[in-house]
Amino acid sequence: MNLSVDIDPSSGFCFGVVYAIEMAEDILDNEGHLYCLGDIVHNDQEVKRLEQKGLQIIGHDDLERIQDAKVLIRAHGEHASTYELALKNNIELIDASCPVVLKLQNRVKNSFDECLPIYIYGKHGHAEVKGLVGQTKDEAVVFQDISELEIEKLPREITLYSQTTKSTDNLYNIREELESKGVRVNFNDTICRQVSNRDKDLRFFAGKYKKIIFVSGTKSSNGKVLYNVCREINPNTHFITNKGEIESDWFNKNDTIGICGATSTPMWLMEEVKDQLLAF
């Protein structure tokens, strides 16, 4: 087909994910085994790679039964109760929480200590959001969309935070709508700029090619946001999780193809996709 294929140089792991994976690999290289509380990254292909090196994914129920072991906390951070349980069970926590997330947790806790009503714009059940709510003794209100809030019943003044990987535009629109309805908002822009800047970078990248292949795990919130950014700019955008999902009839002879991905997408996976496309 003589396809021309480029990988977006700004795609791939954010520094928080790189930090967590490097920490895990160091221990696995030395000890051959490590527990990880939840998927280390929202990408099944990368999780499988690390499992082959000895990483064992566990859930919070498993943590109740484990004693005298090392357990990695992933970049998303954890609920305060996890640290309490670790002390009780003599578990050594390898804390790979992203520094941006840890800073946000501290800010949320400070607001809670000041008895402020806290609202968090984020995905229900997301690991990072659970960790944030844990700073408030589970009292913070989480919402994915402003339509979930009965604005007329809100306190006249609220403190607003956001999951670090949500859309910056959406967060500012939420503040504007709340304030237009008479709610005073103590506003905290807690979007990770490494993630939000990718929004801008991807808009430019997606417009340069006839077709876009967006590579991401299905569990990645950030992946869903960035995929929609690409599709908005370039309707010929295809979402895949691995090279086996590519269909040759998506392409025409001499097409230009751009490959990009989420902050949880490993570069090696995008390289595999590129090799597959060049083989057509």
Nearest alpha carbon to residue 126 among 39, 246, 19, 36: 39
The sign of the CA dihedral 74, 67, 131, 96 is negative
128 is catalytic: yes
Nearest alpha carbon to residue 224 among 160, 170, 180, 182: 170
- CA–CA dist 132, 54 (Å, integer): 29
Question: Which residue is catalytic, options 128, 139, 232, 247?
Answer: 128
Q: Residue 72: CA atoms inside 13 Å, Cβ hemisphere, count?
A: 29
- CA–CA dist 271, 172 (Å, integer): 36
Give catalytic residues, as residue numbers. 128
